Amino acid sequence: MLTVAAVLFASCSDDDETLNSMQTSVGFETEAIAIKENASMTKLPIVIEGYRNGDVSVEITAEGTGANPAKEGEHFRITDNTLSLLAENDTTNNATLYIEFQPVDDKVINDNREVTLTIATAKGATVKTQKLVVTLRDNDAAFYEKFHGKWVITGVLNDGTELRKNITISGAIDEEDPKYNKELTVNAPQML
């Protein structure tokens, strides 16, 4: 009975992952991208092309490159280095997986940093565009963006009462945005 149970267990575990065996490719959508270090979470696409009859998964590595290498955990974070598209979720010829890439704003003026993301392994597909160079553009040298963040405003009212309030200043960070370098937003709850 134990032998039969072991055979059933082994056959069930083989069914857990059925890799794709059709002609399918995976690759980064582009070979280079620039992201400001104060940007929010950015989704970097990995495109899967071709019909699939099983699972496709990729493992991503990150290595600081260039004259000023970025370090994972210090200058950026990646939510998950292993991404999968399961066969039961496959309904189209093309699909996209996303790397969740979070730059870290260090509040220090520095040269742009660089990291190269690489598809280290691909299961159930061949690799098309294996590398993506991410340039982390420094925002701290930009005078306009130096105002962004949390501030404390102080003053004295007509009756001599001191006023001390927390405020937040924000604005566009995309240099292509028409409001960039022209408009700031102040959030001052319960100011008066």
Q: Summarize pLDDT for 67-103 with one digit per residue, the tens.
A: 999 999 999 999 999 999 887 666 668 889 999 999 9
Q: Cα(57)–Cα(80) distance, rounded to whole angstroms? A: 12
The per-residue pLDDT for 11 is 41
Average pLDDT over the chain reads 86
- Do the beta carbons of residue 119 and residue 60 sit within 8 Å? yes
**In the prediction, which pLDDT does 2 show?**
41
Q: CA-based diameter of the chain, in Å?
A: 89
Q: In which band, very low, low, confident or very high, does the pLDDT at 8 lie, cut at 50, 70 and 90?
A: very low
The pLDDT, as a whole number, for residue 115 is 98
Please report the pLDDT score of residue 90 as a whole number. Answer: 63
- Between 43-47, 91-95, 110-114, the lowest mean confidence (pLDDT) is in 91-95
Q: Which residues contact 69 (CB under 8 A, 6 or more apart)?
A: 63, 113, 114, 115
User: What sections of 53-191 are H helices per DSSP?
Assistant: none
Distance of alpha carbon 176 from alpha carbon 19, whole angstroms: 43
* pLDDT value of position 3: 44
Residue 128 has pLDDT above 80, yes or no: yes
What count of other Cβ atoms lies within 10 Å of the Cβ of residue 165? 14
Who wins on pLDDT, 7 or 61? 61
Q: Supply the pLDDT for residue 180.
A: 86
User: In the prediction, which pLDDT does 9 show?
Assistant: 41
